[in-house]
């Protein structure tokens, strides 16, 4: 079995994945707050952890992997949108979840094993809060329940911060009922206009952090293997998750490996509506950028490094995928995953190295290995996407044409222009005219009146 090594933010080193339940890895990834469309930065963790999910399924078997990604459907941003629009909260969250599924599906992401909504797990949150109070790690004040940060000695270990430094640089609003400025809310009261549930502390709703602790434990158990999310969640969200989970159940380990993807910028600048560089996944799809291209660009930078979305990278991704789809559009026998591809993926998801290997496989004409690797990366489903297909030909004919174009490309890369011209001329005699366009663009193909697919077979 492939040994998977992942960078653990908590221990600051790569560690071998050794599932708590042998042969059955479990992963929890923090999902979206559902009040609006997912922007490009939201898409990066979805794609990164989808690749990890695919690797785990390949390694351990599809039915042996548990992947949980939650929907936060109780939040002040959702309440504000409901007040602004006059729409019921459930209508907003249902619609936003549907949007999220549509957009993530377009990027080639598999659906997780479980996608819990926070509002379906309120009793589990109430029970965990009750345990924290009983053990002295939380207290009730002014209708709120707050976690005593200083009651957990290892608070700050994940993010590498000391409690004193946090106090010195804190921007946390200090409510008068807090014992300590760093204490955070587990439960808060709701008025008649806000969603709420009954609890021992009155009608109210949970704080943000408690939901992931409760849902992870209910769905994955008290100890599981991987907890992931964006680097912006490392502190305070994930730090707080660890504190409340370990204090509520000190006998349980919670998550073993913590993984965080870095942030995304656009053309070297932070996404901002004021700069005009803020856009959602749906914005890109509606502008004609294919989901496979978006996915390719997001995977082109290692997840642990900041990722710069640029128009040049979009162009390069489109060119590369066009070339690869020409090859894999031809029906080819199945292949085992290329050893170099698997080695790079298992080495802390080194997808940039995998992409380099895919270029090598394409240039060498190893179509079965290329197709299998693209499928593992989520770049290919059962068929070539419509935007990359050769129109006007049957699937078998298009596959042959794509293969010949790839061979012509390879000849041109080797500066064997005489061979490239021979392939073009033979295709013309077979009834397929190749009209080259700009640098990096796929050529235009014209089906001539005398087209004969049998001659294509002879060219092959």
Would you say residue 172 has pLDDT above 60?
no
* pLDDT at residue 331 in the model: 63
443, 434 Cβ separation under 8 angstroms: yes
* pLDDT at residue 171 in the model: 55
- 66-81 pLDDT, tens per residue? 999 999 999 999 999 9
217, 114 Cβ separation under 8 angstroms: no
Give the separation between CA 354 and CA 342, rounded to whole angstroms: 8
Would you say residue 15 has pLDDT above 90?
yes
Sign of the dihedral through C-alpha 401, 405, 407, 408: positive
Give the separation between CA 262 and CA 48, rounded to whole angstroms: 11
Would you say residue 4 has pLDDT above 60?
yes
Mean pLDDT rounded to a whole number for the chain = 92
Residue 125 CB contacts under 8 Å (≥ 6 apart), including other chains: 206, 210, 211, 214
406, 323 Cβ separation under 8 angstroms: yes
329, 406 Cβ separation under 8 angstroms: no
Buried b (16+ CB within 10 A) or exposed e, 319-350: ebbbbbbbbbbbebeebebbebbbbbbbbbbb
Per-residue pLDDT averaged across 129-153, rounded? 97
Identify the CA nearest to 145 among candidates 201, 203, 194.
Answer: 201
Would you say residue 54 has pLDDT above 70?
yes
Per-residue pLDDT averaged across 336-361, rounded? 97
- DSSP secondary structure of 326-369: HHHTS-----PPPHHHHHHHHBT--HHHHHHHHHHHHHHT-HHH
Give the separation between CA 323 and CA 364, rounded to whole angstroms: 13
| pTM of the model as a whole | 0.89
Give the separation between CA 101 and CA 108, rounded to whole angstroms: 11
Q: How far is CA 199 from CA 137, 202, 320, in A?
A: 18, 5, 56
What are the backbone dihedrals phi and psi of residue 442, each rounded to the nearest 5 degrees, phi first?
Answer: -65, 145
CATH code, residues 5-117+209-266:
3.40.50.620
CATH 3.40.50.620 residue ranges of the chain are 5-117+209-266
Half-sphere exposure of 232 (CA within 13 A, CB side): 10
* pLDDT at residue 441 in the model: 66
Query: Exposed/middle/buried for 440, CB within 10 Å: 0-12, 13-18, 19+?
Result: exposed
- Residue percentage of the chain with pLDDT more than 70: 96
Q: How far is CA 26 from CA 71, 112, 253, 290, in A?
A: 18, 11, 13, 31
Q: Pairing mode, if any, of strands 144-147 and 138-141?
A: antiparallel
Identify the CA nearest to 239 among candidates 213, 216, 219.
Answer: 213
- 401-434 pLDDT, tens per residue? 877 887 888 888 889 999 999 999 999 999 899 8
- 93-117 pLDDT, tens per residue? 999 999 999 999 999 999 999 999 9
243, 149 Cβ separation under 8 angstroms: yes
Per-residue pLDDT averaged across 309-336, rounded? 85
Identify the CA nearest to 34 among candidates 74, 67, 88, 68.
Answer: 74
What are the backbone dihedrals phi and psi of residue 274, each rounded to the nearest 5 degrees, phi first?
Answer: -70, -25
Half-sphere exposure of 256 (CA within 13 A, CB side): 19
Q: How far is CA 243 from CA 10, 133, 173, 240, 284, in A?
A: 13, 14, 20, 5, 39
Residue 387 CB contacts under 8 Å (≥ 6 apart), including other chains: 290
Lowest average pLDDT, out of 13-27, 242-256, 275-289, goes to: 275-289
Identify the CA nearest to 129 among candidates 33, 195, 181, 204.
Answer: 204
């Amino acid at each position: 079995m492939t040994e998977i090594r992942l960078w653990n933010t908590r221990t600051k080193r790569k560690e071998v994945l050794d599932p708590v339940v042998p042969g059955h890895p479990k992963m929890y990834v923090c999902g979206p707050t559902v009040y609006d469309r997912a922007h490009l930065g939201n898409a990066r963790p979805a794609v990164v952890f989808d690749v990890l999910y695919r690797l785990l399924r390949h390694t351990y078997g599809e039915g042996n992997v548990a992947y949980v990604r939650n929907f936060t459907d109780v939040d002040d941003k959702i309440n504000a949108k409901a007040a602004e629009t006059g729409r019921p909260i459930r209508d907003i969250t249902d619609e936003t979840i549907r949007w999220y599924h549509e957009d993530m599906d377009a990027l080639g992401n598999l659906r997780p094993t479980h996608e819990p909504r926070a509002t379906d797990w309120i009793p589990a949150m109430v029970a965990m809060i009750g345990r924290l109070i009983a053990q002295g790690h939380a207290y009730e004040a002014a209708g709120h329940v707050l976690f005593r940060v200083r009651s957990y000695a290892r608070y700050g270990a994940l993010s590498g911060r000391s409690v004193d430094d946090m106090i010195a640089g804190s921007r946390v609003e200090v409510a008068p009922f807090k014992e300590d400025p760093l204490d955070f809310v587990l439960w808060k009261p709701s008025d008649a206009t806000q969603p709420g549930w009954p609890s021992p502390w009155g009608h109210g709703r949970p704080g943000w952090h408690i939901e992931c602790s409760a849902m992870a434990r209910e769905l994955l158990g008290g100890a599981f293997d991987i907890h992931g999310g964006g680097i912006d969640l490392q502190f305070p969200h994930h730090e707080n998750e660890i504190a409340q989970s370990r204090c509520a159940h000190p006998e349980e380990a919670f998550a073993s490996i913590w993984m965080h993807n870095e942030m995304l910028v656009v053309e070297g600048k932070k996404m901002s509506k004021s700069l005009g560089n803020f856009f959602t996944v749906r914005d890109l799809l509606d502008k004609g950028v294919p989901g496979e291209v978006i996915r390719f660009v997001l995977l082109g930078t290692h997840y642990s490094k900041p990722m710069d979305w640029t128009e040049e990278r979009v162009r390069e991704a489109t060119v590369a995928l066009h070339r690869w789809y020409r090859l894999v559009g031809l029906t080819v026998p199945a292949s085992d995953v290329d050893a170099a591809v698997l080695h790079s993926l298992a080495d802390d998801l080194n997808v940039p190295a995998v992409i380099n290997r895919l270029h090598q496989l394409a240039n060498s004409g190893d179509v079965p290995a290329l197709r299998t690797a693209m499928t593992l990366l989520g770049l290919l489903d059962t068929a070539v996407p419509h935007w990359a297909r050769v129109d006007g030909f049957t699937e078998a004919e298009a596959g042959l044409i794509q293969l010949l174009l790839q061979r012509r490309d390879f000849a041109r890369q080797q500066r064997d222009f005489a061979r490239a011209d021979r392939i073009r001329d033979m295709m013309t005699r077979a009834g397929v005219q190749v009209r080259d366009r700009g640098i990096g663009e796929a050529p235009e193909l014209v089906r001539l009146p005398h087209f004969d697919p049998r001659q294509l077979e002879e060219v092959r």
